[in-house]
Structure 1
Amino acid sequence: MWFSISIFVFIWLRLTVAYAAIARRADLKALLTSTRWSAKTIISFPGSESFTNATERWTVFDPPTYSAAISPSTEADLVKAVQLATSNGIPFLATGGRHGYTTTLGDLNEGLAIDLSLFNRLEIDKSAGTIKVGGGVRFRDIYDPVYTAGFEIQLGTASCPGMVGVTLGAGVGPWGGVHGLLIDALLSLRVVTAGGRVINVSKKSYPDLFWAFRGAGANFGIVVSATYKLQEQVNEGESLVADVIIPAEKNASYFELLQSYDGSLPENLSISSFITYNWTIDAPQITASWAYIGPEADGRIEFAPLLALEPIIGAIAVYPWNKVITSVAGGADAGLCLDGGTHNIYTLNARNLSAPTYEATFEKYSLFYKEYPEARGSSLQIAIFPNQAALSVPDSETAYAWRDTLAHVDIVFSWGSAERDLTEVTDVLGRELRGDFAATAGYPDLAVYVNSAHGDETLEQIYGARKLPRLAALKKAWDPENVFGFNNALPTRYP
């Protein structure tokens, strides 16, 4: 009898949730279609091309789901959308590039997608040396205008993510040694708050909130636009890049070479190494891109230890700042930026480099490729970025907790949607590998860059325990109802 009642209650609860979702979808459609919007604002619903354009993501692994989408064309319409959602208890998520992949995004069900793609303007003030970008601008949009104006700015390693979204987490990348983090170039933000107010945030205007936006910004508002300080070009904007494949018999020597840079990486040198599967030779391999921001002659000196291993050279070439991200590794950026893939991702930060850990990881990845051939599109990246300029900024300046990070490890499991579901097996291996790396990473506990968090980490592992009391107090002040709560949400009280 108890079993029968339990089954009845379970079915009743499931039906209640389903009917509630259907009702909310109907209510949301009525709310949106009965509201007056600007002529260029787009309202869309599932099944339409406009809806796909407003919601398509880089990864479809554990994604948010939506009943409707709005692509506001004006700041007033963006405010109206936020007020409509909050006053009616409708969950929402505002996105620029939709490149985020934390699984906490999947907690949003049948909500409202706020697509910022129409906020795509950028303005460069050459005399002030600044750039202002809308919330929908992607990195690829700024390359040519910034370079042509005679400047550069610190970048990530892909062209497709939204510039503002990357900034809010910190903005790490190869330029960390010479220019610092992207948040270090940030001058001000124009923000729509949880209460539907529009405010300008900077060191002089709401300085506490500006502190929080630089490292935990997804928790505090929707950025309409952001203004950055541009940088003078290093070496007239030219970098030397070597793309290589490491012969299998040299794997151990290569990992030892990486470890030799522990504590001694030059500020101009970044090293990105990948474990991938080579379909031509039917075996796993290590590929690498070494980049030197500076004169070619100096770069070749820095590349000498790499070249002494006699790797297979894909290219050694000089690239201008506006072309380097899209050109290296044979233009791999174009493929890596394709939307709609299934990617289950685990990551961590390291301030130590460990050859034994890398060797053991290569062996485990090799076994994974052998057992799950449908997942041979998976990869593992060890991105070693210099941090001299990032460390020159006091830790107290921003909410970001991991300025001393030297390497970012991305464990990326990918498989086709038509294949068997590998979620369980990749979760097990992902956590195992993340734990292996964390054991030698040099932090007391797992440390994770918020933009790359899987979603199962603790608050301390993402934001740093020393930052959380102030962040929680600001969350309580600015978003007590947690409407911005789907991207590794902060609490309103800590501890």
Structure 2
Amino acid sequence: MSSPTPLLSRWRRIDSVATVLWWSLSAICQANATLQWLSPTAELADRLSPGALIYSPGSDGFTQATSRWSVYEAPNISLVVVPSVENDVAETVKYANQNNLPFIAVSGGHGAIITESRVQNGIEIWMNQLNTVEIDGYVARVDGGALTKTVSHALWQAGKQTVLASGDIKTIDRTCDLWWAMQGAGHNFGIVTSVSVKIYDIQYPDWAYEMFTFTGDKVEGLFDNLNVHLLRNGWPPVNIVNFAIFKRVPEIDVKPIIYLWIFQEGATSVDSAYSKPFHHLGPSATGVGSGTYLDVPRWLGWDSDAPSCQNSGLANTRFPIDIRSYNVQAVRKAYDLFTDVTQKIPELNGSRFLFEGYSLQGVKAVPGESTAYAFREDNLLVAPVISWTPSGPDIARKATDFGKRLRQIIYEGTGRSELHSYVNYAFGDETPQNWYGYERQRQQRLLGLKNNYDPDRKFSFYAPIA
């Protein structure tokens, strides 16, 4: 009996409160493939469109396509296919299945979860050419390979924005039983080739920010103020976003410094009601600016040209935890550990610790049981990002231990028995409960859909359900 064909999907979602755009990193389970399959690429090429590309190891195209934000525990790729039309994805999947080969779909190459390393001698489907954004009134069709910058810029130029808050090709909408699973766990079921989302006229084109630099003695005051003035008992202001980062900057201080950004939508300057408490802490430096939403990544240093977003040969691992509020004592303990380890192990001193606070009204307006995305009650995303230059197993072990210890401190500070871990940042040693929720009914529903649509576990390398 032949294996079932993995699912390719067009995901249509045009009337939801909070829309999630994602172009998943999906993979199939490891096959006992040999390199013998590399020679008959002509067979595959004959099945693809004229605009599709195939890259073999050693070519410039292969190097570019397989470069990743994190090289630690990366998938092992032996051939790259670059589809130019949707059907090229389907034909590549069919070819891989017929030859018992693993495959993985890649867009920006920022998936860093270590479960991807189980792909050996695999085919990479690089979605690079499937990157268009088509706008028709109040609906945008976004190709599966379109990166965030492409989407946001295309919509902004049209005066629009989203709501923040098998080889078979199928259209998935709310009438399909996969609709629930695609919203939070879709990488377990297929490769998204396009998504249609409802879009809206831009109401508030102006954005403003204030940036603060604090030394380590301000940890307690800073995170207490975040709890009181910006988190506001789990209902932060709808037009305010904040980020904080621990980072070593030797020219400023011998210990890690803390950057804080406050962003405000619909303003040319941040309202003092939000920024004044942080000025009273006595920052060592401040900065202000204004522009549009398109400027926000650049202000933060997370735009596509920023050093932190480059595929520069580093190992980058994240250890995320979702929490409801800051336990200030736990944050102090984590800061002290971050200081100690990055001083004693210089190879890890490029690491940083992220604290992300978004407005959540749209997220919380969606009933938790209505999608596979869990933990809508959480308010903050916290994640150590441990970075190093690969040089052997010893430093990798130390880096992993460092990240786990930092997360454990924050976890113990929550006082909860459950560890909630944001799947897009996951390290890979977490459980399906950590990623998709602890409710038995939720896990059973995911498993039932998995058994129905992917019984052979073709898509089980990125945060697998089972």
1:209 aligns with 2:178: yes
TM-score, L = length of structure 2: 0.87
Deviation at 1:33, TM superposition (A): 4.8
352, 371, 382: which is aligned to 1:409? 382
Q: Structure 1: where are the runs of 5+ without partners? A: 1-19, 155-178, 181-193
Corresponding residue of 1:123: 134
Indicate if the aligned counterparts of 1:344 and 1:423 stay in contact, CA closer than 8 A. no
Corresponding residue of 2:24: none
Render the CA deviation track for 1:376-409: whole Å, top value 9, x for unaligned: 1100011122212210111122110111121111
342, 363, 378: which is aligned to 2:336? 363
- Hey, what's the Cα distance between the residues in 2 that align with 1:382 and 1:96? 25
- Hey, what's the Cα distance between the residues in 2 that align with 1:145 and 1:344? 31
- CA spacing shift, 1:420–1:489, aligned 2, 3 Å: closer
Corresponding residue of 2:34: 24
TM-score, L = length of structure 1: 0.82
- Hey, what's the Cα distance between the residues in 2 that align with 1:32 and 1:109? 22
1:440 aligns with 2:413: yes
1:323 aligns with 2:295: yes
Indicate if the aligned counterparts of 1:255 and 1:359 stay in contact, CA closer than 8 A. no
1:88 aligns with 2:99: yes
More displaced 10-residue stretch of structure 1: 263-272 or 452-461: 263-272
- Hey, what's the Cα distance between the residues in 2 that align with 1:97 and 1:490? 23
Which amino acid in the other structure matches residue 387 of structure 1? Answer: L
Indicate if the aligned counterparts of 1:278 and 1:284 stay in contact, CA closer than 8 A. yes
Deviation at 1:332, TM superposition (A): 9.1
RMSD across aligned C-alpha pairs, in angstroms? 2.1
438, 463, 466: which is aligned to 1:465? 438
- CA spacing shift, 1:144–1:328, aligned 2, 3 Å: same
Q: Structure 2: where are the runs of 5+ without partners? A: 1-30
- Hey, what's the Cα distance between the residues in 1 that align with 2:350 and 2:337? 15
Indicate if the aligned counterparts of 1:243 and 1:329 stay in contact, CA closer than 8 A. no
- Hey, what's the Cα distance between the residues in 2 that align with 1:240 and 1:404? 28
Deviation at 1:26, TM superposition (A): 2.0
Corresponding residue of 2:153: 144
Render the CA deviation track for 1:439-490: whole Å, top value 9, x for unaligned: 2236431111111111111111111132211111111111111111110111
Indicate if the aligned counterparts of 1:350 and 1:443 stay in contact, CA closer than 8 A. no
Corresponding residue of 2:143: 134
Render the CA deviation track for 1:51-70: whole Å, top value 9, x for unaligned: 11222111101100011111
1:114 aligns with 2:125: yes
Corresponding residue of 2:5: none
Corresponding residue of 1:267: 238
Which amino acid in the other structure matches residue 49 of structure 1? Answer: D
Render the CA deviation track for 1:207-227: whole Å, top value 9, x for unaligned: x21111110010111111111
Which amino acid in the other structure matches residue 309 of structure 1? Answer: L
Which amino acid in the other structure matches residue 276 of structure 2? Answer: A
Render the CA deviation track for 1:240-270: whole Å, top value 9, x for unaligned: 2111101343232112212323435222222
Indicate if the aligned counterparts of 1:38 and 1:74 stay in contact, CA closer than 8 A. yes
69, 74, 83: which is aligned to 1:63? 74
Which amino acid in the other structure matches residue 368 of structure 1? Answer: V
Which amino acid in the other structure matches residue 95 of structure 1? Answer: V
1:44 aligns with 2:15: no
Corresponding residue of 2:201: 232
Corresponding residue of 1:159: none
Indicate if the aligned counterparts of 2:55 and 2:81 stay in contact, CA closer than 8 A. yes
- Hey, what's the Cα distance between the residues in 1 that align with 2:44 and 2:135? 38
316, 319, 324: which is aligned to 1:351? 324
SS of alignment partner, residue 309 of structure 1: coil
SS of alignment partner, residue 326 of structure 2: coil
Indicate if the aligned counterparts of 1:273 and 1:288 stay in contact, CA closer than 8 A. yes
Residues 229-308 of structure 1 aligned to structure 2 (within 5 Å): 229-235=198-204, 237-260=205-228, 261=231, 262-280=233-251, 281-296=253-268, 299-308=271-280
SS of alignment partner, residue 72 of structure 2: coil
SS of alignment partner, residue 286 of structure 1: strand
SS of alignment partner, residue 270 of structure 1: strand
SS of alignment partner, residue 43 of structure 1: strand
Q: With CA pairs under 8 Å and 6+ residues apart, which has the higher RCO, 1 or 2?
A: 2
Corresponding residue of 1:186: none
Residues 180-195 of structure 1 aligned to structure 2 (within 5 Å): 180=165, 194=166
SS of alignment partner, residue 130 of structure 2: coil
- Hey, what's the Cα distance between the residues in 2 that align with 1:34 and 1:303? 58
Deviation at 1:24, TM superposition (A): 1.9
- CA spacing shift, 1:218–1:330, aligned 2, 3 Å: closer
SS of alignment partner, residue 451 of structure 1: helix
Render the CA deviation track for 1:171-222: whole Å, top value 9, x for unaligned: xxxxxxxx41xxxxxxxxxxxxx2x111111113x2x211111100101111
Give % identity. Answer: 27
Q: Across the two proteins, how many residue pairs are aligned to each other?
A: 428
SS of alignment partner, residue 226 of structure 1: strand
Deviation at 1:108, TM superposition (A): 0.7
Corresponding residue of 2:168: 197
Which amino acid in the other structure matches residue 338 of structure 1? Answer: Q
- Hey, what's the Cα distance between the residues in 1 that align with 2:465 and 2:391? 36
214, 220, 223: which is aligned to 2:192? 223
- CA spacing shift, 1:468–1:419, aligned 2, 3 Å: closer
Indicate if the aligned counterparts of 1:243 and 1:328 stay in contact, CA closer than 8 A. no
- Hey, what's the Cα distance between the residues in 1 that align with 2:92 and 2:83? 8
